[in-house]
Each structure stands twice: as C-alpha cells, then as structure tokens.
Chain A
Amino acid sequence: MQEALKNTIDERNAVLEEVKTVLIERLNLYQEPQDIDEDTPLFGSGLKLDSVDATEVVVMLDMSFGIKVEEGTDPSFMRNINQLVDFILERKRATEAGSEAGSEADSEADSEADSEADSELTQATAAA
C-alpha cells in the first residue's frame, strides 16, 4: 500500500476508533468498539439513539474534537458513524487550511509590518 493511502486510512481509522470509544463512554452503550460497524445508523435502528443523545453527540464533537456545530448545520452528518467521521475530517481539514491561510496572512502582515518598520527606521535614520 502506498504511503498516501496508508496515511489516509490511518487518519480515518484513528478518528473512527475515537468516535466509537467516546460514544460508548458518553452514551453508556453496551457494545465494544469492534461491534460497531462504520455504516451503523445512529438513530431509529442501529445504535437507537434519541434526541437527547443527539445533544450528547454535539457535545462530544466539541469536547473530543474541538468542533462547534453551528445552529442550522445540516444534521445529516449524524446519520451514521461514517458520516460523523466524514464531518470531523472535513472540519479538521478546513481548520488546517484556515490555519495555513492564517499563517500566510500573518506572515504577509508581519512582512508588511516589517516593511513599515523598515520604512520608519529608514526615515528615522535619514532624519538623523
């Protein structure tokens, strides 16, 4: 297996395991992690969660993954374990992309500030 695929699978597997473990702990599920398949529905059938549990899932996302679910977010990400993991990974990538963009912006801002400082320094030096 090529490195890129291995990394993708390892990343997904790590989130899958954490999601299952945290759900079992927070919702007192009787299953072991290996008994919960990735496409297991969360509500109705499957894990048979209810609306109170849905709130717990939202809290879990915040506490365990630092993800805040905004009001009005399409709730279909809670349909099954795999979709929940997709949602976590998408948010993680968006945050990383945001941080990188942020760093670049910071870096540009720093450069601009440096240039301004240089300019001020140049003017001050010239004035001296």
Chain B
Amino acid sequence: MNALTALHTLHAKNVTSFNGIEVPDQYSDLDKEYKALRHNVALSDYSHYTKLKIEGDEAFDVLDIAVAGDVAEIRDEQTLYTVLLDEAGNIISDVYIMNDDDTYIVLSEHIDDETLLTLFKERMGEFDDVEFTSLTHSHAIIAMEGPYSWELAKEIYGMDVIGIPFLGFIALEEDVFLLRAGKHGEFSYKVILPNEEAEALWNEIEEKGERYELVKAGLALHKLTRLENPYFSPSGNGSVSRDPRELQLQWMVRYDKDEFYGREKLLEKREQNLAKKVVGVVLEQGGDAHTINSGDAVIYNGETIGKIVSCGYSPSLNKVIAQAILDNTYAYAGIDAYTVKSSDGTEHKIKTTATPFVNNHSMLINPNENSFVNPDKFRNMIEQLEAQQAQKLAEEEKASA
C-alpha cells in the first residue's frame, strides 16, 4: 500500500507492485498518457522509489565510497545522478543523491529499501558517524512531467520553480522537496512529501492541471519513453550487460576519484579492449511494435554481429526503434549496412543512430518566454520565431511599399 493506493484502485486501469509499493501501471490509455508526457503534462505516482535519508558527520564519506560518481560535486540543493557498482565493477542500480545542506537523500528506483540499506552498510568500512532513516514508506513521490510541467509547478510552488536547474531541487519543508529530475528528456518535477499530504496534492495538481490538458499516467508508459531516451534499466539494457562501458554509461562514473566500490575491477576492465557495445537502431522501413523483438540477431554480410536488446514503436518518430548490443568493431552510429533477422526469418534493414532517438518537445520551450495557458505568449520557440520572421517580413514589405 501507499498513500494513494485507494485513489489509484478506484481510478487507474492497472495497479502494480514495485519494490513492495503499489503504484499505477497504466491509468487510462497509453497513447493518451504518452501524448501528455511528450506535449503537455502527465501526473504520475513514483512512490515506489526507495528513499533513504543519510546524515551525520561521515555521511559524505560513506556515500562517496559507496557510489561511482563524485559526491563532492554536489552542493546544497543539487543532485548527483550516478550508479552503485558491485565489486566486479558492474552496475547494480542507478541512484539520485540529493544534497540537502549535507544531509543526503538517496532515491533508487530499482532496488528496495532493505537492499539499499544493506549496500550502504556493507560499504561503510570504518566510518560510523552516520545515521540512516528510511523515508520509503513514510513519504510519497508525486511527479508532474512534460513540456509544460514547469508552468503547472509554478502555479503551485511559485516563481522559484523556474530557477530550478536540471538535477536541482528546493527544500520546501523538512523532508519535503521539489526535485527537477526525470528519465525521459522532458521537464519533470517530483514532489517528495509525507504520505498524509499526498492525496491533497494529487487532487490539487489534477484540478490545476486541467487547463494544461493534464493526463494521469502510470509506469508502463516509461518502457517506451526510456527506449526513446535511453537510461539504465535492469530489464532493458541492463539485461544484456552491467558494464558501464558496454552500456555507454561511463559518464555516470568518476574514474579519477581516489576510491569507490568496484573501482579496482572497473579500472582493470578499462585497460582491456571493449568486446561489445550498446547502440541505437532505427528500422529503415515500416514495421510495428512486433516486427522485431529482443534477442533477434543483427546481421552483417550473413554473419551475426549482435542482437536486439529492447525495441518498440516510437510515436514521436513514427518508426520502430531499438537498442542493440553489437560486436564493438561494428558498434558505430550512422551505419546502414546491417539487418535484423526477425523470428519468421525476414531480414529488416536498419540504421544505427545516436541516442536519444527523439528531440524532446521540452527543448523548444523557454519558461521565461513561452506559456501553455497565457494567450499573450507563444507556446514554444518555433512559433515565436515564425511570428518574429513574419513580422519582420511585413515590416520590410511596408517599408518598401
């Protein structure tokens, strides 16, 4: 159960259990939820995230050894997105680490409360001035996500929202935060708050979100959005490799840090030639979500050079997209010489490509200039630019007349 389970049970299409917490898997219609996330605002319950507060004089030291990223990089109200490695240098999970005035809040989507706590305790070494408090079952996470989520969040929390940078947050009260972070390339604001306040906020967002054409969404949606904007996923790219180099996730690792769990083996691997690597793939012609499947072979000149890791149909691109793990010799973007052999034996031409696959709509929106609800403002920078050009042209014509 979580704070909103009763509400979701009444209204959501499917509710699923994640890390022992019930959250909506699908609220209404996946296409509707997708469109809201990519073009307007989606409202989601992320309470399944494990939330661990770590404080004490040695909290920094424990965290800095426990994770592969550089915790010293984050100042107050900043968040580090990094990975926890095992001893062999393989990724266990991605984590967010929020620095709230040297008290840290760790958020993890893929590992439960008990496992996360055990991982940190195993890595404490001689440090003991550390206190762990789980917020997982006492706190909910409600997310406003999509190109105009900043505007809705601003209505609720004020102008400060506009100033929150990516991976920044505001501490609203003790253990209540507004965090800007997401894994789909659109604006995304997560409110971490006590369970008893969750339902009132959910209802307020739903009510105020109406004029943004807000749609309530579940987690199933993100199987597709995270394929379009790849992140670490245990059931996706993580199912074929946990090596940061093979997954192209070395940016989540700080090699020059003196010490972190898994560093030694990772540095050994770094000296070896890379055997395979995950790349983005687009089906050149037609197809639907079932044309190719995970495990299908990638072929070059009759030889198997890799396989499909995860795939789906991207509504934004109107194309079948996939991640494939290829022999490193062939693992480059911009190649159209390969095919994918589907289970019925048909070979489909593909092109390898840079990821993320999509140019997110949020990239076209400047919160200081655009608005979804203010008729005096343009909705995005393209509309704004076109209007400016039309005005310039009209002025030139007038002057020459």
Interface of B is mostly: loop
Q: Which of A32-53 contact B (CB under 8 A)?
A: 32, 34-41, 44-47
Please report the C-alpha to C-alpha distance between residue A63 and residue B173 in the assembled complex, in whole angstroms: 50
Also in contact, A83 and B354, with CB within 8 A (given A36-B250, A39-B248, A40-B248)? yes
Count of residues in A whose CB is under 8 Å from the partner chain: 32
Contact A89 B334 (CB under 8 A): yes
Range class of the B interface residue count: 20 to 34
CB < 8 Å: which of A8, A37, A89 contacts B251? A37
Tell me if B256 counts as interface (CB < 8 A to partner A): yes
List residues of chain A with CB under 8 Å of any chain B CB. 1-2, 4-5, 8-9, 12-13, 30-32, 34-41, 44-47, 72, 76, 79-80, 82-83, 85-86, 89
Contact A35 B255 (CB under 8 A): yes
What is the chain B residue whose CB lies nearest that of A31? B255
Please report the C-alpha to C-alpha distance between residue A36 and residue B81 in the assembled complex, in whole angstroms: 17
Q: A1-B329, A37-B245, A37-B251 are in contact. List 15 more A-B contacts (CB 8 A).
A: A1-B300, A4-B337, A8-B335, A13-B332, A32-B255, A35-B250, A37-B249, A37-B250, A39-B354, A44-B167, A46-B251, A72-B385, A82-B333, A82-B354, A82-B355
Tell me if B157 counts as interface (CB < 8 A to partner A): no
What is the chain B residue whose CB lies nearest that of A83? B354
Please report the C-alpha to C-alpha distance between residue A76 and residue B300 in the assembled complex, in whole angstroms: 30
Of A36, A79, A82, A83, most B-chain CB atoms within 10 Å: A82
Contact B270 A80 (CB under 8 A): no
- With a cutoff of 8 Å between Cβ atoms, the chain B residues found around residue A1 in the complex are 300-301, 329-330
Tell me if B166 counts as interface (CB < 8 A to partner A): yes
Please report the C-alpha to C-alpha distance between residue A47 and residue B73 in the assembled complex, in whole angstroms: 13
Of B279, B329, B330, B332, most A-chain CB atoms within 10 Å: B332
Sampled A-B contacts (21; CB under 8 Å): A1-B300, A1-B301, A5-B300, A8-B334, A8-B335, A9-B329, A9-B330, A12-B333, A13-B332, A35-B255, A35-B270, A36-B251, A37-B251, A38-B332, A39-B280, A40-B251, A44-B167, A45-B81, A79-B354, A82-B334, A82-B355
